[in-house]
Structure 1
Amino acid sequence: MDVNIHVNDPREHINEEPRNDFWDLVFGFVGMFGFMTVIFFGFVIIKFLVG
């Protein structure tokens, strides 16, 4: 009995993008930190203008 079975090896990572996950993480943290810093100082300025 001859059965043709095509099994994909999960170690091949066929659909994976060729990106560096570490730098994606670094840019994410830096970008979020910068965004939150701008929001923080914006609210501080608004607080001093209103109060």
Structure 2
Amino acid sequence: MDVNAKVRDPREHINEEPRNDLGDLMTGFFGMTGFMTVVFFGMVIVKFIFSE
């Protein structure tokens, strides 16, 4: 069985882009935490407006 597979050494990192994984993680975590905080206080304000 003849297979024409192009095998490359994974250590070459041909298409690897420089990334800051910790920065991406912190940005996502604190961004989502900030968004949920805004949503929480928004819902608290809505609750007090509509409660009688």
Q: Normalised by the shorter chain, which TM-score bucket?
A: 0.7 to 0.9
Number of equivalent positions: 47
1:37 matched residue in structure 2: 37
Displacement of 1:40? 0.2
TM-score normalised by structure 1 residue count:
0.78
Displacement of 1:9? 1.2
Structure 2, unaligned stretches of length 5 or more?
Answer: none
Structure 1, unaligned stretches of length 5 or more?
Answer: none
Moved over 6 A (4+): none
C-alpha distance in 1, partners of 2:36/2:6? 49
Displacement of 1:13? 2.4
Aligned-CA RMSD value = 1.7
- Percent identity, aligned pairs only? 68
